[in-house]
């Protein structure tokens, strides 16, 4: 009896914690240099992790191991990955989106063609959405790319449980796990 109550409490706590939204904010600014900042907040931003534009030294792997292309050759893996990504993107909600860029190319005619091809979708998106999106052409001073983009995405992790279980229990994922484990053993020897 007590084991069942404890199990029910543990499951309830896990469901509660997975029901709390996860917020991802991305901020990209381009002036004289590129500035990129990512913030991941959970539990109403009480638990927060921030990532900046810091580049880390890549570790060299011992031996060949496996590559990303080798993994994509696993039969049936690519459709499973695409399905997982589709399920994840279906549950992502945009809370805030602000984009303001000034774009200019070497030739003013190229600038007009490029910004003109982007103008109609940006204009229509600005009319039908509550988000602030602005794109300005710059016809003088040569090549220019200045501005910023800011987006806040919200996701409830519990909504991804069926998609993750479906992906994790597929044959392609089990084959992938086998390749990863065998590659790890080969490197240790």
Euclidean distance between the first and the last CA atom of the chain, given in angstroms as a whole number: 49
pLDDT band at 52 (very low <50, low <70, confident <90, very high): confident
The whole-number pLDDT of residue 51 equals 83
Cα–Cα distances (Å) from 80 to 47, 59, 65, 83, 167, in that order, read: 31, 29, 23, 5, 6
pLDDT band at 55 (very low <50, low <70, confident <90, very high): very low
Q: Is the pTM of this model over 0.85?
A: no
Look at 62-66, 124-128, 153-157 and tell me which has the smallest mean pLDDT.
62-66
In sequence order, what E strands does 80-164 have? 93-104, 132-137, 144-155
- Mean of pLDDT values over 10-22: 89
Structure confidence by residue, pLDDT tens digits, 129-176: 888 888 888 888 778 888 999 999 999 999 999 999 999 888 888 888
Look at 42-46, 48-52, 130-134 and tell me which has the smallest mean pLDDT.
42-46
């Amino acid at each position: 009896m007590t084991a069942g109550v404890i199990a029910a409490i543990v499951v309830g706590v896990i469901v509660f914690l997975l029901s709390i939204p996860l917020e991802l904010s991305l901020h990209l600014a381009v002036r004289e240099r590129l500035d990129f900042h990512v913030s991941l907040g959970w539990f109403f931003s009480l638990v927060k992790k921030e990532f900046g534009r810091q580049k880390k030294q890549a570790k060299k792997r011992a031996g060949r191991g496996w590559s990303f292309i080798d993994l994509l050759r696993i039969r049936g893996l690519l459709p499973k990955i695409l399905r997982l990504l589709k399920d994840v993107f279906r549950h992502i909600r945009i809370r805030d989106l602000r984009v303001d860029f000034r774009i200019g190319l070497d030739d003013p005619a190229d600038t007009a063609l490029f910004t003109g091809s982007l103008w109609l979708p940006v204009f229509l998106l600005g009319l039908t959405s509550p988000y602030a999106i602005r794109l300005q052409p710059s016809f003088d001073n040569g090549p220019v790319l200045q501005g910023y983009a800011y987006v806040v995405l919200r996701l409830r992790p519990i909504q991804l449980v069926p998609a993750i279980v479906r992906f994790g229990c597929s044959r392609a994922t089990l084959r992938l796990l086998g390749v990863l484990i065998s590659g790890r053993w080969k490197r240790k020897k």
